[in-house]
Amino acid sequence: MPAILSLPLFLLLLVPIALLVARSSPSAFLAELTAPETRSAILLSLLSSTAALLVTITLGTPLAYWLAHTGSRVAALAEAIVDLPTVLPPSVAGVALLLALGRNGPIGAWLHALGLDLAFSPAAVVIAQVFVASPYFIRAARAGFASVGADLREAATIDGATGWGLVRRVLAPTAARSLGAGAAMCWSRAIGEFGATIIFAGNLPGRTQTMPLAVYLGFEQSLDRALVLSTILIAISLAVLVGVRFLAPLESDNAP
Amino acid sequence: MPHAITRRAFAAALIALSLAACDKKPNDPAPIASQPPAPTAKLTVLAAASLSGAFREIGAAFETANPGVKLEFSFAASNQLRTQLENGSPGDVFASADRKQMDSAIASKVVDSQTSRVFTHNQLVVIVPRSNPAKIESLADLARPSLKIVVADKAVPVGNYTRLMLDNAAKDAAMGEKFVAAFDASTVSREQSVAAVVAKVSLAEADAGIAYASDAKGASAAKLTAIPIPTALAPRADYLVAVTSRAANPKLATKFIEFLLSPAGRDTLAKHGFTPPEPASN
């Protein structure tokens, strides 16, 4: 019975995606793949999402560690704030980023005075992706760090591990699966980012037009391009999601 | 085995159900409209984003003039609306910001070609923020270095007109290809609708944008200044309207189109920065 009841929603999730992939013909696929606008969108998406992932790992790991081990009451509120971008419409994130970091925003005006304009730049693409995708990494990393018991940390400390050594030798290896799964989720969410990007970074082929933006504009202009890019996005996302299940079968409950 | 059959039957029923639902939707308003006393009749108008201010006002006047009629608007880029119609979106009237989108809609038979006509015009202008941080006074100023210019993507009517304007400028003795190259180099974004161009210039995040004369009279008027583009360069934007092929109430739809062309309709459009059609144009 549950199997039957689960069918409608499962089909809703599967059928449109399957039909979309089935609709792109191999010859059109190859022709579109060599078009400069398609290639620049793919390249920009790969570069920006990788940059977003690196920023997230660098700045998100300490945050996740703090969230996991601080007893502070502030942490519960901080966790909610970190999770906020996952439930907000990305367009809200885009407007917020434009108003804060645009050249007339409180932070953006200050950067503008230093000669740095973020809006409409490839950096804005990365910032939008970090804003929307980093919570997926932080959440998984926090759970991974929390799973390292106090006894193990104490034992390691007694054996002389401190600071960075503790993180590198004990915590990171123990939480590695969670960190890896979180990183994969973060990267694939970043590569699919659309709403915040088009508002904060704009849309310019070769500069800020990522794959999702090219799909949106291509939908009316060149359906073939939209289909090719959609198929690539679906393939990447599916590979990541399947990979995450192999990487962290135990922590899948914690992974977002 | 019976399990498998049930499963298959369920899937088949589900698909049949969803198809039936798809099929029914566009005709849904019909029974309401065909009831003789017709206490309420609904008319859905799909209109170019640039028409939103003018159409809201005209719509209110139309509802007052026709008690019991309820107008619903869907404003988006004309190309998006045309795509929606082609994919089965309900709607009784389609108002496009260019001939190209109307022609495509006619070609795919989603509008009644007999009813298609030009109802108003719009003029391309340079819009700058009221504060005008880059001190732009003319179209030619847009060739200055290190500007941030926002235009609409060429898939959108206003973006298509912008491209035509730049093509004209390239051939123009005073502007030339140098102007176009500088303009393109300063273009930081190709937005998905004229509304997005207006929003980013209103916020002064961009130094200038290309939009319609009507945009500078709309809701963002207080935040914008419009700079005219020489008429030799700027193509006049033609706005076309037609009754859709699947209109639930074609009579009411035609009535709305007539209202647009009436003196009251023309006055409202003119108030919002549109130019009335010449008697002969169609």
- What pLDDT sits at residue B29? 45
Contact assessment for residue A102 and residue A52, using Cβ atoms and an 8 Å cutoff? no
For the segment B265-275, the average pLDDT, to the nearest whole number, is 93
The closest of A202, A188, A178, A193 to A239, measured between CA atoms, is A188
From chain B, pick out residues whose CB is under 8 angstroms from the CB of A201. Answer: 189
- Amino acid symbol at B270: A
- A103 to B205: CB separation less than 8 angstroms, yes or no: yes
| C-alpha torsion sign, points A43, A49, A50, A51 | positive
Judge whether B223 lies within some domain: yes
Cβ distance B253 to B92 under 8 Å? yes
* Cβ within 8 Å of residue A151, ≥6 positions away: none
> Is residue B83 a contact partner of residue A219, using CB atoms and an 8 Å limit?
yes
Q: CATH number, domain at B265?
A: 3.40.190.10
B173/B86 same-domain check = no
**Residue A144, min C-alpha distance to chain B (Å):** 40
Segment B261-268 mean pLDDT: 94
Same domain? B217 vs B87: no
Asked if pLDDT for residue B258 goes beyond 90, the answer is yes
Torsion of the alpha carbons at B38, B34, B256 and B70, rounded to the nearest 10: 40
Chain B contact set for A204 (CB, 8 A): 187-190
Pairing relation of β-strands B224-228 and B93-96?
Answer: unpaired
Strand B149-152 and strand B187-191: pairing? parallel
Q: Which residue has the tokens 């007339």?
A: A104
Across the range B190-210, mean pLDDT stands at: 94
Say yes or no for a CB contact (<8 Å) between B10 and A221: no
Domain ranges of chain A: 44-253
Q: Is A104 on the interface with B (CB under 8 A)?
A: yes
A217 in contact with B, Cβ within 8 Å: yes
Share of chain B above pLDDT 90, in %: 71
Alpha helices by DSSP H, chain A:
2-23, 26-33, 36-69, 74-87, 90-101, 106-113, 122-147, 150-158, 163-165, 172-174, 176-191, 195-200, 211-221, 223-247
Is the CB of residue A18 less than 8 Å away from at least one CB of chain B?
no
| B138 and B194 co-located in one domain | yes
Contacts of B153 in chain A (CB under 8 A): 203, 217, 221
Contact A117 B148 (CB under 8 A): yes
The residues near B30 (Cβ < 8 Å, ≥ 6 apart) are B248
Question: Is B250 part of a structural domain of the chain?
Answer: yes
The answer on pLDDT for A172 being more than 80 is no
Q: What is the mean pLDDT of residues B188-215?
A: 94
Cα dist from B1 to A7, A47, B6, B14, B38, whole Å:
17, 51, 9, 20, 53
Task: Write the CA distances from B233 to A55, A202, B92, B122, integer angstroms.
Answer: 47, 26, 35, 14
- Listed in sequence order, the residues at least 6 apart from B5 whose beta carbon sits closer than 8 Å to its beta carbon are none
* Residue B11 falls inside a structural domain: no
CATH number assigned to the domain with residue range A44-253, chosen from the 4 options 3.10.290.10, 3.50.50.60, 1.10.3720.10, 3.90.1150.10: 1.10.3720.10
Question: What single letter denotes the amino acid at residue B11?
Answer: A
User: Which is higher by pLDDT, A151 or A93?
Assistant: A93
Percentage, residues of chain B above pLDDT 70:
85
Question: Within a 13 Å sphere around the CA of B214, how many CA atoms are in the beta-carbon half?
Answer: 28
Taking the alpha carbons at both ends of chain B, their separation in whole angstroms is 66
* Nearest residue, CB atoms, A203 vs list B10, B192, B203: B192
Note whether B139 and B182 are same-domain residues.
Answer: yes
B219 pLDDT more than 90: no
In terms of domains, do B147 and B219 share one? yes
CB pairs under 8 A between A and B: 65
Tokens of A22: 């089935």
Same-domain pairing of B101 and B158:
no
Residue B277 lies in a domain: no
> Looking up tokens 């108002």, which residue turns up?
B95
Q: Smallest CA–CA separation between B204 and chain A, in Å?
A: 7
B242 and B115 within one domain: yes
Residues B95-150: tens digit of each pLDDT: 999 999 999 999 999 999 999 999 999 999 999 999 999 999 999 999 999 999 99
From CA B116, how far away is CA B99, in angstroms rounded?
A: 10
B174 plus B262 within the same structural domain: no
> Is B6 part of any domain?
no
Q: Are residues B200 and B254 in the same domain?
A: no
Domain around B56: 29-121+238-271
* Closest-approach residue (CA) in chain B for A221: B155
Domain count, chain B: 2
